[in-house]
Amino acid sequence: MRLADCRVLLTGASGGIGQALAEELCARGAQVLAVSRRQGALAELSRRYPQRLTRLDADLRQPQGRQRVLDAARQHGGINVLVNAAGVNSFAMLEQIEDEQIDDMLALNINATLKLTRALLPLLRQQSHGLVVNVGSIYGSIGYPGYAVYCASKFALRGFSEALRRELADTSVNVLYVAPRATRTPMNSQAAMALNAELKVGVDEPEAVARAVITAIEKDLSELYLGWPEKFFVRLNGMLPGIVDRALQKQLPIIRRFSAAHHGKEHP
C-alpha cells in the first residue's frame, strides 16, 4: 500500500509504539485518526502535522468509546487501514496479579480489539484495498514466565489475526500480525527492563519497530516477527517446545527474584 493513499485509524496512539507509528505515518503522508486515552501525549505531534493527524479521546473498553471511534471514522470519509496498537502489560507471576489487572488486560488487549475490528470491517470492505494491523508480541508465540496473562492475551490476538485473515481471504481486506520483541516503552515497568538487562535480552526502540511495521504495510505482508534470536525461538518453540521449557526453567529463579522485588512479596 502507498502511505500517501492511507486513511489510518490508529489505537493506542499515545503509547510507545503507537506514538512512534503515528509520527512515522504522518511523516510519510498518511491521514491518521489517532485514538488514545491520553491525548496530551499527542499535542506536539498534532502541532507538527495539523493537516494529517486528528486526535480522538476514547476508552475502547467501553461500548460508547468504540461507538465514538466508529462515528469519527465515518465522519472522516472512512478508513482503509486499522492499526490495533492499544494494549497493556504487567510483569508479575500469576499469583501476584490482582483480578482487576487481569480483567483490564483482557478487556483492552482482546475484547476491545475484537469488537472494534468487527465494527470497522464494513468500512474497510468498502475500500479497493483494506488492511487490519494487529500489534501482538513475541510473547504471542512463546509463553514466558512472569507474563502469563499478557501471553494469554497475545496468543489470542495471534489466533484472531490468523482466523480473520482466512475469513477475509476472498475480500479486499488483508490482516497483518506484528510481533515485536521487548521494546523500550512506558508500558514496561522498571523491574521488567531490569530483568531484560540481567538476562541480556535485546530491546528495540519504538521508532525502529514503527519503521518495520510501515515497511510491512507497504509490502502488504501478512506477518512480521522482529528480533534475533527471538524469531528463531518462535520456530523452535513451535517444533520442540521441550527445549524452550528447559531453557526458561534455568531463568526461572532470576525471573522470580525480579518479580518479587517489584511486587514486594515472594512467589510461593
pLDDT in tens, 70-79: 999 999 899 9
Q: Please tell me which residue in 49, 147, 150, 177 is annotated as part of the active site.
A: 150
- Model-level pTM? 0.93
pLDDT for residue 268: 40
Return the pLDDT at 238: 93
Per DSSP, the chain holds a count of helices (H) and strands (E) of: 10, 7
Whether residue 191 has pLDDT greater than 90 = no
pLDDT value at 265 more than 60 = no
Distances, alpha carbon 207 to alpha carbons 24, 25, 76, 210, in Å: 8, 11, 27, 5
**Band of residue 43 on the pLDDT scale cut at 50, 70, 90:** confident
Q: Is 49 an annotated catalytic residue?
A: no
Q: How many beta carbons lie within 10 A of that of residue 2, not counting itself?
A: 11
Q: Which domains does the chain have, with CATH numbers?
A: 3-263 (3.40.50.720)
